[in-house]
């Protein structure tokens, strides 16, 4: 549930409780007012009937068709009942059960379900030697109907006001949360941008302003950490590049001199492969240490994918032999085999993907490589190897320093570097790990407007 919905529900709940309590109090006062008005009218009618009572001789007025009346008098002794209607209700206002009679249509009006009674007493001026009391019972169906209508109006009004409060609260919450949405939008743009810019400060000096200031401080720390890491990568790569180049040259000269003993040749050749791998890693660090806002340096060259992939596989032949894994390359010929791309970066990507497949493949299995050049929009290279696990994470593999198997050799940088270099080339790297098969699919786009041959290098 969104913050906006929670705010609206909280406000609506408070409004519903407060309005329900206030409405109940107002409704009870309104009901008492109706009852008071009804009793006042009944009392007026009872006083008029009492004014027509005479005790000597006894003369009594007759009540209305639906009215019930009882007249009592007191003369220095117990009260004496002068008149009582046959259907006079019980003290609680309910009709008497034992006095219900069968009625024929048109004779008497039907008995009411409930009555409201008012008792009036004579004054000393009206009767000097006696005290007369008259109780008038009147059906309160009209009063009950008015009370029901009043409750219905109050209930409907409460529901309508609650709906209006929900709508108004939803709109007001959206208006109040608009600065937060703008802040979220700015923060989301940082994830897509090539540099981390500070968030715009709101004009009002409120809690949102303090939150924005705190977020800007956090972004400054993140930017400083990223810049420090890039500078470290660049400085370390520059420092290691020269000694690695010297080591590589020395090993190549030694191996090509023809004076190496036969038992030492495989060892030195393995050392040369490791130096080449370290040199390639240093070049990748130099590429990734460039700031994101700097335009990437891409040197377009014509690259035959199947031949380029075969060269990369030969470079990793020693590693494949150490892990007892074979490599099988199949090609689907088409116009996509010849692409214009940065051959050096593509070389780094393919070597990392092939080396990862070889290291994590089951011993004695074969790494299947498919080069598909039949698609007009992109060239596809699919590398698949058999694994000892049925499945595993794929999204985390493109993060730095993540290792699916910590016991394997490496630092968890190969697939991360491949993903970053693929992004620089405008391609797409897709990873899948299902049913004991790990598949990495590299798509290299074929631009519709290819650069001129004069600007390739």
Q: Are 8 and 169 in contact (CB under 8 A)?
A: yes
Cα gap 387→384, rounded to integer Å: 10
| Residue 457: per-residue pLDDT | 40
Number of CB atoms found within 10 A of residue 2's CB: 9
In this predicted model, what pLDDT tens digit does every residue of 265-280 receive, in sequence order? 888 887 887 787 777 7
Angle at 407 between CA 404 and CA 411, to 5 degrees: 65
Cα gap 338→449, rounded to integer Å: 15
**58 closest CA partner among 154, 106, 130, 149:** 130
Structure tokens at 50: 């009492």
Average pLDDT, the chain: 82
Sign of torsion over alpha carbons 386, 270, 404, 444:
negative
| Residue 36: per-residue pLDDT | 93
b (16+ CB within 10 A) / e for 274-286 = ebbbebbbbbbbe
450 DSSP 8-state letter: P
Cα gap 316→310, rounded to integer Å: 10
Q: Are 144 and 34 in contact (CB under 8 A)?
A: no
For β-strands 326-332 and 366-372, DSSP reports them as parallel
- Mean pLDDT for 253-260 is 83
Strand partners, 381: 371, 442
When pLDDT is cut at 50, 70 and 90, the band that residue 305 belongs to is: confident
Q: Are 445 and 378 in contact (CB under 8 A)?
A: yes
In this predicted model, what pLDDT tens digit does every residue of 361-387 receive, in sequence order? 999 999 999 999 888 888 899 999 999
| Residue 368: per-residue pLDDT | 93
Q: Are 117 and 89 in contact (CB under 8 A)?
A: yes
| Residue 25: per-residue pLDDT | 93
Which residue segments constitute the domains of the chain, with CATH numbers given? 3-95+111-171 (no CATH), 299-455 (3.30.565.10)
297 has a pLDDT exceeding 70: no
- Mean pLDDT for 215-237 is 79
317 has a pLDDT exceeding 90: no
> DSSP for 18-67?
HHHHHHHHHHHHHHHHHHHHHHHHHHHHHHHHHHT-EETTEE-PPP-TT-
- Mean pLDDT for 60-71 is 88
| Residue 215: per-residue pLDDT | 87
In this predicted model, what pLDDT tens digit does every residue of 169-212 receive, in sequence order? 888 888 887 888 888 888 777 776 667 778 888 777 788 888 88
Identify the weakest region by mean pLDDT among 168-177, 221-230, 420-429: 221-230
| Residue 453: per-residue pLDDT | 40
294 has a pLDDT exceeding 70: no
- Mean pLDDT for 317-331 is 89
> DSSP for 220-281?
HHHHHHHHHHHHHHHHHHHHHHHHHHHHHHHHHHHHHSS-S-TTTHHHHHHHHHHHHHHHHH
- Mean pLDDT for 325-347 is 86
Q: Are 405 and 360 in contact (CB under 8 A)?
A: yes
- Percentage with pLDDT > 70 across the chain: 86
Question: What is the reported pTM?
Answer: 0.49
In this predicted model, what pLDDT tens digit does every residue of 145-156 receive, in sequence order? 999 999 999 999
In this predicted model, what pLDDT tens digit does every residue of 91-108 receive, in sequence order? 888 888 765 544 455 555
Number of CB atoms found within 10 A of residue 27's CB: 17
Cα gap 426→339, rounded to integer Å: 13
> DSSP for 142-162?
HHHHHHHHHHHHHHHHHHHHH
Q: Are 170 and 8 in contact (CB under 8 A)?
A: yes
| Residue 407: per-residue pLDDT | 54
410 has a pLDDT exceeding 60: no
448 has a pLDDT exceeding 70: no
Cα gap 421→429, rounded to integer Å: 10
In this predicted model, what pLDDT tens digit does every residue of 32-44 receive, in sequence order? 999 999 999 999 9
Number of CB atoms found within 10 A of residue 7's CB: 17
- Percentage with pLDDT > 90 across the chain: 18
In this predicted model, what pLDDT tens digit does every residue of 118-158 receive, in sequence order? 999 988 777 777 888 999 999 988 888 999 999 999 999 99
């Amino acid at each position: 549930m969104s913050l906006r919905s929670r705010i609206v529900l909280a406000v609506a709940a408070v409004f519903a409780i407060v309005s329900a309590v206030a409405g109940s109090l107002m409704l009870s006062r309104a009901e008492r007012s109706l009852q008071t008005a009804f009793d006042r009218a009944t009392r007026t009618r009872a006083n008029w009937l009492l004014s027509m009572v005479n005790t000597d001789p006894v003369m009594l007025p007759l009540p209305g068709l639906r009215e019930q009346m009882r007249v009592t008098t007191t003369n220095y002794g117990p009260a004496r009942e002068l008149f009582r209607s046959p259907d006079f209700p019980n003290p609680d206002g309910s009709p008497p059960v034992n006095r219900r009679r069968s009625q024929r249509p048109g004779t008497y009006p039907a008995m009411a379900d409930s009555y409201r009674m008012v008792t009036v007493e004579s004054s000393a001026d009206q009767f000097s030697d006696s005290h007369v009391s008259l109780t008038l019972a009147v059906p309160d169906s009209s009063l009950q109907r008015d009370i029901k209508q009043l409750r219905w109006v109050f209930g409907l009004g409460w529901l309508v006001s609650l709906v209006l409060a929900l709508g108004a609260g939803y709109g007001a919450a959206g208006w109040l949360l608009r600065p937060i949405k703008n802040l979220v939008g700015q923060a989301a743009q940082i994830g897509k941008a090539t540099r981390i810019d500070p968030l715009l400060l709101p004009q009002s000096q409120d809690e949102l302003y303090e939150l924005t200031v705190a977020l800007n401080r956090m972004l400054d720390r993140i930017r400083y950490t990223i810049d420090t890491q890039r500078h470290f990568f660049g400085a370390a790569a520059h420092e290691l590049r020269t000694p690695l180049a010297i080591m590589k040259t020395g090993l190549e000269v030694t191996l090509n001199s023809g004076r190496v003993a036969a038992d030492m040749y495989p060892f030195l050749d393995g050392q040369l492969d490791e130096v080449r791998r370290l040199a390639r890693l240093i070049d990748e660090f130099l590429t990734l240490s460039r700031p994101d806002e700097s335009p990437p340096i891409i040197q377009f060259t014509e690259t035959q994918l199947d031949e380029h992939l075969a060269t990369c596989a030969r470079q990793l032949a020693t590693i494949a032999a150490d892990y007892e894994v074979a490599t099988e390359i199949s090609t689907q010929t088409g116009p996509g085999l010849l692409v214009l791309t940065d051959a050096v970066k593509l070389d780094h990507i393919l070597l990392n993907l092939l080396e990862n497949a070889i290291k994590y493949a089951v011993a004695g299995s074969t790494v299947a490589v498919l080069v598909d050049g039949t698609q007009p929009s992109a060239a596809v290279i699919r590398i698949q190897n058999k694994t000892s696990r049925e499945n595993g994470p794929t999204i985390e593999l493109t993060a730095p320093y993540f290792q699916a198997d910590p016991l394997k050799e490496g630092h968890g940088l190969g697939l991360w570097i491949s993903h970053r270099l693929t992004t620089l080339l405008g391609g797409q790297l897709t990873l899948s790990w299902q049913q004991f098969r790990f598949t990495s699919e590299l798509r290299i786009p074929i631009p519709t407007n290819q650069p001129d041959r004069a600007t390739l290098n």
